[in-house]
Amino acid sequence: MDTEVIVAGAGPTGLTAALELARRGIGVRLLDAAPAPFTGSRGKGLQPRSMELLDAVGGVTDRLVALGRTHLPVRRYGPDGVHDEPGRGREPTPDTPWPTSLLLPQWRTEQVLRERLAECGVVPEQGVRVDDLTADDHGVTVTTAVGPIRARYLVGADGGGSTVRRRLGIPFLGETREEMRMVVADVELEGLDREHWHQWGSPAPGAYSWVALCPLPASPTWQLQAGPLDDREPDEAVLAEIVGARGPRVRLRSVAWRSVWRLNVRMVADYRVGPVFLAGDAAHVHSPAGAQGMNTGIGDAVNLGWKLAAVLRGVDEALLDTYTAERLPIAAGVLGISTELSGGAMWARTAEQVRTTSQLDLSYRDGPLGSSDDGPGPRPGDRAPDAPVGDSTVFLRRREADWTVLTTDAGVEVPGATVVVAGEAAATTYALAPGEVLAIRPDGYVGTRGDADAVRAWLAPLTARRGTARVA
């Protein structure tokens, strides 16, 4: 073996997967076909649940929050005048420290993930494309221009056009809607204030009848989205025309990146073939409406990362089967909500849609590690909320080890887990009965709850360790 896990693709999904492995001391090589990191803004909305998932990865969320912004007001220009809408979002609460999506260009999010990964000793190998692969009972070998590389497992996080998926022969089921196209570009311009997300019109017939210009934080650029296209290539001259039509003082200065986006709604029927896994856009693509793509990829990577690490350190391989079982229904749901949103006004969302797209309510309750019992508080498979504990919080204490056990009884010991003694606040949030013990999974979902013996028995096969493991 050249390494324990190869991750193909250093987008947000592959970077998160590599980080989840590297910080647990697993040998990982992260290969990316592109000569350099991608510089376009693409996914500019980091959802609340992603911020929670990345918080456990050692301070990543604090760094992202310092760069991004929330509550950006919207200024709509319509036939009946200009209307300002205050920025949407909720105030933090003790159980949800990041309730509002964070605006940040995707390249910045990736940059922060790369910096954190480098702290764990892994640097993406740019310009190393996975051209082919062969898998057997003992591992997988990928073919690259720098020679064959062999590992126990391969994670295909190589985007919508995934070579890994194609080489596995896994169909990408769904449809491409050529008629639903828009131009997306990062531009510099003058004549508009950067304190609003400026939006004109709504999806309708007529070339460029809707235009959105969003100032990107931590960057001098704006993300332009506009459609429907006419038969011209949306080059710099067309972009200058679109921008210039916004007002007498509005002028395009430069174009840093531009792309034509087509609606693709596709997903695979299985995320795993033997030692090879698919994650992120390689497994599911859909409309950017609702800002779900990057976030769902990060969720895949976090779900898979701890499971791969556990199995490589001696836990039964059957744990890996829970990856498809837990994540495939999530992708199916995301395809539904993003298609629903892209069919209407892309930005006008109901409170219920905002809640759905925050991904805070995603649950694995119906999965193989979940439980459908209806007791009070979060049940096995549900998101584990934050809560104050002493002078710390559940989320901060979760950074100490993979498994966290919450209990009101200071005498409880559970091998392989950090035991956190819940005071009144955490006991209320989790509806913990006196003497009840609750285990939180490494990815921040409730694992199980019950008496101490039952929790120890449930956890033992999932924490078996071979060799040294660390959590950085």
Ligand X SMILES: Cc1cc2nc3c(=O)[nH]c(=O)nc-3n(C[C@H](O)[C@H](O)[C@H](O)COP(=O)(O)OP(=O)(O)OC[C@H]3O[C@@H](n4cnc5c(N)ncnc54)[C@H](O)[C@@H]3O)c2cc1C
Residues that bind ligand X (CB under 6 A): 8-14, 31-34, 38, 42-45, 106, 129-130, 157-159, 163, 184, 261, 280-281, 288, 291-295, 297
For 395-421, b where at least 16 C-beta lie within 10 A, e where not — what string? Answer: bebbbebbbbbbbbeeebebebbbbbb
To ligand X, the closest distance from the beta carbon of 220 in angstroms equals: 19
Angle between helices 60-67 and 106-119 (to 10 degrees): 150
Backbone φ/ψ region at 390: left (φ over 0), alpha (ψ -120 to 50), beta: left
Q: What is the Cα–Cα distance from 299 to 52, expressed in whole angstroms?
A: 10
Rounded-to-5 percentages of helix, strand, coil across the chain: 30, 25, 45
CA atoms within 13 A on the CB side of 378: 30
To ligand X, the closest distance from the beta carbon of 101 in angstroms equals: 8
| Structure tokens that stand for 272 in this block | 């795993």
Q: Which is nearer to ligand X, 285 or 427 (CB)?
A: 285
Q: Which is nearer to ligand X, 59 or 160 (CB)?
A: 160
To ligand X, the closest distance from the beta carbon of 337 in angstroms equals: 12
To ligand X, the closest distance from the beta carbon of 223 in angstroms equals: 8
Backbone φ/ψ region at 126: left (φ over 0), alpha (ψ -120 to 50), beta: beta
Which single residue is written with the structure tokens 């004549």?
191
Q: What residue type is assigned to position 282 of the chain?
A: A
Q: Which is nearer to ligand X, 43 or 48 (CB)?
A: 43
3-state secondary structure of 347: coil
Q: Which is nearer to ligand X, 160 or 450 (CB)?
A: 160
Q: Which is nearer to ligand X, 159 or 381 (CB)?
A: 159
Q: Which is nearer to ligand X, 291 or 384 (CB)?
A: 291
Q: Which of 63, 60, 68 is nearest to 89 (CA)?
A: 68
The torsion of the CA quartet 334, 335, 341, 344, rounded to 10 degrees, works out to: -170
Which is it for the CA torsion 394, 398, 402, 408, positive or negative? negative
The torsion of the CA quartet 46, 52, 58, 62, rounded to 10 degrees, works out to: 60
Q: Which is nearer to ligand X, 163 or 408 (CB)?
A: 163
Q: Which is nearer to ligand X, 285 or 387 (CB)?
A: 285
Q: Which is nearer to ligand X, 117 or 446 (CB)?
A: 117
3-state secondary structure of 231: coil
To ligand X, the closest distance from the beta carbon of 280 in angstroms equals: 2
CA atoms within 13 A on the CB side of 264: 17
